[in-house]
Amino acid sequence: MLMNPSAWAAQKRSWQILKSLNPVAMDLDRIHFIRSRSPESLTRSEDLEALLLELGLNDEGLNEFPAHLHPFCGAGFRIWQYPTQFSKYLAQLTAINVQSYLELGVRHGGSFVATVEILERFHLLDFAIGVDVIPTPSMAHYTKMNPRSAFVCLNTQSNDFNTLIDRLGEIDLVFIDSHHEEAQCRAEFEVVRGSANIVAFHDICNLNCPGIAQVWSEVKATGEYICFEYAEQYSGLGPCMGIGLAVRTERMTS
């Protein structure tokens, strides 16, 4: 069946964007900043926020970051998150005791590695898998450093993704941070919905990604989850980014 003209135009724009995205290698030596911290400090959002700056932020879309963060951009882990949001999200994860992890859309791999390393300061995960449609250089190196981690290069809109989710079975936490379009985000959520105890979404309040906000609203409206939002903004910008965390009620109370 042929796509309608508007859908076909959107698909072509997506392909053009993907062709322009070339992940770069991260400085994985900065893992020692996490491994040298005490677990107690990793439960405090203020300590995590400072740690994220040491790990390094992304320099793509630099206009989204306030000027005082620019010196930390373009090196290290290249984490594409707001430290003020991501730190509080990570602190919450340490309290939930996550057992396994799947991240959809890893870009350079910084958010994935940071999340896995922080969680594993408390206990080893059953598995941690990053998925992206574009090969990511640093993920190959990291999976050698951490045998519980893996990288899978595939399109989440393909049957291969459904097969992967079926093979994994129960997944404790899934972080959806891929193409940031409403239809794809909703489709990814529907595929993992039956397997995931906890689902997180990135860009729930990004003014350039209104579709993600719509999907997040739908998730909250199901009544199946206890939901948290991390949407603190830097003055004069945005709103940008934002993280939504949806924990199945039974998982939160177990």
pLDDT digits (tens, 9 = 90+) for 173-195: 999 998 888 899 999 999 999 99
pLDDT digits (tens, 9 = 90+) for 216-238: 999 999 999 999 999 999 998 87
> Token pair 């090969």 is at which residue?
135
Q: Is the pLDDT of residue 196 over 80?
A: yes
pLDDT at 14: 45
pTM for the full model? 0.89
Residue 68 DSSP symbol: G
Q: Is the pLDDT of residue 6 over 90?
A: no
What integer best gives the mean pLDDT of the chain? 90
Domain residues of the chain, as ranges? 81-253
pLDDT at 179: 81
Q: Which CATH superfamily is domain 81-253 in?
A: Vaccinia Virus protein VP39 (3.40.50.150)
Best CA proximity match to 180, nearest among 52, 22, 21: 21
pLDDT digits (tens, 9 = 90+) for 116-160: 999 999 999 999 999 999 888 899 999 999 999 999 999 999 999
DSSP string, 86-136: HHHHHHHHHHHT---EEEE--TTSHHHHHHHHHHTTTS--S-EEEEESS--
Q: Is the pLDDT of residue 28 over 90?
A: yes
